[in-house]
Amino acid sequence: MARIIGGLTTSHVPSIAGAMARGEERTPYWKPFFDAFTPVHEWLNRERPDVAIVIYNDHGLNFFLDKMPTFSVGAAARYDNADEGWGIPILPSFEGDVDLSWHLIEHLVADEFDLTICQEMLVDHAFTLPIKLMYPDSGGQWPVRTIPITINSIQHPLPSAMRCWKLGQAIGRAVNSFPKDMKVVVVGTGGLSHQLDGERAGLINKAFDLFCMEKIVSDPAALAALSNREIIERAGSQGVELMTWITMRGALNGDVRKVTSLYHAPISNTGGAVMLLSNGSQSVSLAAE
Ligand code: DHB
Ligand code: FE
């Protein structure tokens, strides 16, 4: 059976890619952030996941305001990266896992999630950067197959945190019922607090970010209970990327422990955060709530 072995969250600020391209990982500005990945690399080396399900928000590359699905799932054999305007290096293509994608889609639709199914999909920095951070030395031969899942964070109305939490739980149940033996890591990318435009541009709320990092481990239902208005007030209009974290956490249905975490702010305009959670095999109720 397929098994979710852990969940990783990281900010996906595009300037991280610029820093990597320029070899600036050890400069004082960047070192604390990149150092957070040393234990992540050790864990990945030890655990060797086969598939990464990457929960992210498309920033106007594959979807735009004319057509914006609330949730979409990739079902392609390959996903190409393109630049949606940040001028960062384009990364080599990512291999998909078509069988697991269709299994997820079947289960999520049966679970009453009305998804957009993407048999072609371009992936942006929110998908590519976390994989590059996980495997910086892979030379583009990514050691995992990937499945992109997007959450609308641009065109209001956005899905609620509770809906995202339930989507995550449904993803967890779907993976656990896939009959092939494989290890899956779930990645939630974005956040934490940031607002890139308008009167509050540059907003970072460290206290709220640290609250999220604590609750995501010990009491994720408290995050799922937040309203969108509350998240935007406290974390900024792009702080809604927290939804990807909540979805990731919903998919972890075992004995969840923190492996490592780091808060480093600001990175560009963002409260930068990295967390790795293990999902032990001691399984709790998989029933729908
Ligand atoms: C920044 C953060 C993001 O999440 C993003 O998608 C683009 C830019 C930033 O802080 O620069
Ligand atoms: Fe973003």
Q: Could you read off the pLDDT of 148-162 as tens digits, one per residue?
A: 999 999 999 999 999
Task: Summarize the confidence of residues 216-230 as an average pLDDT.
Answer: 98
- Is any ligand 1 atom within 6 A of the Cβ of residue 236? no
Split at pLDDT 50, 70, 90, the class of 236 is: very high
Tokens in use for 147? 């499945």
Q: By mean pLDDT, which of 34-43, 83-92, 117-126, 227-236 is the weakest?
A: 83-92
- Is any ligand 1 atom within 6 A of the Cβ of residue 153? no
pLDDT beyond 80 at 69: yes
- Could you give phi then psi for residue 114, rounded to 5 degrees? -90, 90
CA 271 to chain CA centroid, Å, is: 15
Residue 285 pLDDT: 43
Ligand 1 atom, smallest distance to 194 CA: 10
Residue 287 pLDDT: 43
Q: Could you read off the pLDDT of 249-287 as tens digits, one per residue?
A: 999 999 999 999 999 999 999 999 999 999 998 544 444
pLDDT beyond 90 at 140: no
Ligand 1 atom, smallest distance to 266 CA: 10
- Please give the Cα distance from 233 to 98 (Å, whole number): 39
Mutate which of 10, 11, 12, 197 to test ligand 1's pocket (most atoms within 8 Å of Cβ)? 12
pLDDT beyond 60 at 122: yes
Task: Say what percent of the chain tops pLDDT 70.
Answer: 97
Residue 240 pLDDT: 98
Sorted by where each starts, the structural domains of the chain and their CATH numbers stand as 3-278 (3.40.830.10)
Tokens in use for 164? 């995202």
| 194 has catalytic annotation | yes
| 125 has catalytic annotation | yes
Split at pLDDT 50, 70, 90, the class of 83 is: confident
- Is any ligand 1 atom within 6 A of the Cβ of residue 56? no
Mutate which of 196, 203, 204 to test ligand 1's pocket (most atoms within 8 Å of Cβ)? 196
Beta-carbon contacts of residue 175 (< 8 Å; ≥ 6 apart): 2, 3, 4, 53, 100, 104, 184, 251
